[in-house]
Amino acid sequence: MGPVKNVLVPAGPVTVDDVVAVARHGAHVELDPAALAAVEESRARVEALAGDAEPHYGISTGFGALATTHIPLDRRAQLQRSLVRSHAAGSGPEVETEVVRATMLLRLSTLVTGRTGVRARTAQAYADLLNAHLTPVVAEHGSLGCSGDLAPLAHCALAVTGEGTVRTADGELLDAATALARHGLEPVVLAEKEGLALINGTDGMLGQLALALDTLDTLFATADLAAALSVEALLGTDAVFADDLQRLRPQLGQRVSAGNVRRALAGSPIVASHKGPECTRVQDAYSLRCAPQVHGAGRDTAAHARAVAERELAAAVDNPVVTPDGRVESNGNFHGAPVAYVLDFLAIAVADLASISERRTDRFLDRARNQGLPAFLAHDAGVDSGLMIAQYTAAGIVSELKRLAVPASVDSIPSSAMQEDHVSMGWAGARKLRRALDGLTRVLAIEVMTATRALDLRAPLRPGPVTGEVLRTVRAVVEGPGPDRFLAPEIEAVVGLVASGAVVSAARSVTEID
């Protein structure tokens, strides 16, 4: 990623790149003055309804199953404060900073649409918290993915009001009141409708989807390069990746992946060494030959997920909403089903991508299938075990990824005295996808580490320009073949290369990789 620019909200809908810039790279958030004018206009409508004898949900009534309970005028500020306090009921491990920042940015994006009825100062408070790099402490459990990511969003709202706890940019844990004062920020005293507006959206699951799509951009490219390394080191053929063969089946992602593998293998002396008539191998195993078909299907799944994410990023998700013609209407747009489904789809694609990668790794270690390499790529097989247990690690992760691929969105547990009787579980889908992406990163790293060791063992034959550059990048952090060494630090070192995008960057220094 290049230099991080300020993110103007809302100069058009917030994009996936905007989410990544703010959440992962600390970009500064600015609010469009024209948008704030629209915020104030919708706020005036809410204030006009505050004294209305007719009940209006979230303004003069309770919430959820308490929607028929009338709240007197002098109790409505307490109503909003109580809502946030009671809904900040998360439990479990602390959610990652980037997830919380993404969640806050997306809630802010909805606040400034002028459809939620909050005051401009309340929207500004979210921008101020982001720019001060004060991150509310959010617990992992507490969202059913419907009526919004309630508990996570409530923990964020609580911090804006000067309650709860936050982490500073350097990781210090502070009570929110102290942290706000240290940065010269005033706690927000919530007015009618505002507490509800701060907690009623798909922002948590959507933010994690946006971050996942960014991660997958790197991992799909890495998977193609890992496959190329394996095809080369296992003396496979590059003929199956020809573009005319891919055009016979016009799946978009497949063609992209095949092109990456083909370019990564271009000019390889190892591939050229067995292209003559003396080579009796007709076709390679599926894990080599069908890599573009599997990788490409994952790419196409991500493209669909991105389309859903972009539509959701353009949404104003709240209940009730202030419509452009001034009505305040209840609706069901907070239901997380669209986002929940694609989070589950991606977990399936991630599990299968890791599965085919692990199968390629396993082929390297079996003398019956590795085309003349030593057993387990060991220096002295028997005395040394080589990469035997690295494959165990990959296999264990793949097994977990298959469990994580079980959809969360097909589950629903009714809540709020059966008022909220069907929920999306999208937050749960997002949490398991994050874990799955970590697992895929590790499985691909083990394949890259294994394949590059195998390339060294093919000497005096040398890899091609692209795969050779990847090999040099790996050798900068992990030594080549030799007697057994403490393996865990080497795996982690290559995991770092994959996660940071260094493997892809190495290849891109030589050729185009999509």
Residues classed as catalytic: 57
User: Can you tell me whether residue 134 is helix, strand or coil?
Assistant: coil
Strand partners, 155: none
Buried b (16+ CB within 10 A) or exposed e, 388-412: bebbebbbebbeebbebbebbbeee
For 437-467, letters b (16+ CB in 10 Å) and e give bebbbbbbbbbbbbbbbbbbbbeebbbbbbb
Concatenated DSSP letters of 379-421: SSBTTB-TTHHHHHHHHHHHHHHHHHTS-STT----BTTTTB-
Cis before 269? omega within 30: no
For residue 378, what is the DSSP state? Answer: -
- Contact between residue 123 and residue 39 where contact means Cβ atoms under 8 Å apart: yes
Residue 427's nearest CA partner among 200, 148, 106 is 148
**Who's near 55: CB < 8 A, 6+ residues apart?**
61, 68, 70
Residues in the chain, total? 514
Packing angle, helices 97-111 and 120-131, rounded to 10: 160
DSSP-assigned states of every residue in 301-318: HHHHHHHHHHHHHT----
Q: Omega before 320 cis (within 30°)?
A: yes
Alpha-carbon 418 to chain mean position: 32
Within 26-64, residue ranges assigned H as helices are 33-49
- Residue ranges of alpha helices (H) inside 234-336 are 243-247, 252-265, 269-272, 286-289, 291-313
Q: Token pair for residue 167? A: 């982490």
- φ and ψ at residue 463, rounded to 5 degrees: -70, 170
Residues 58, 444: Cα–Cα separation, whole Å: 49
Distance CA 176, CA 158 (A): 8
d(CA 415, CA 308): 26
From the CA atom positions of the chain, what is the Rg in Å? Answer: 26
Distances (CA, A) of 312 to 239, 245, 320: 41, 36, 17
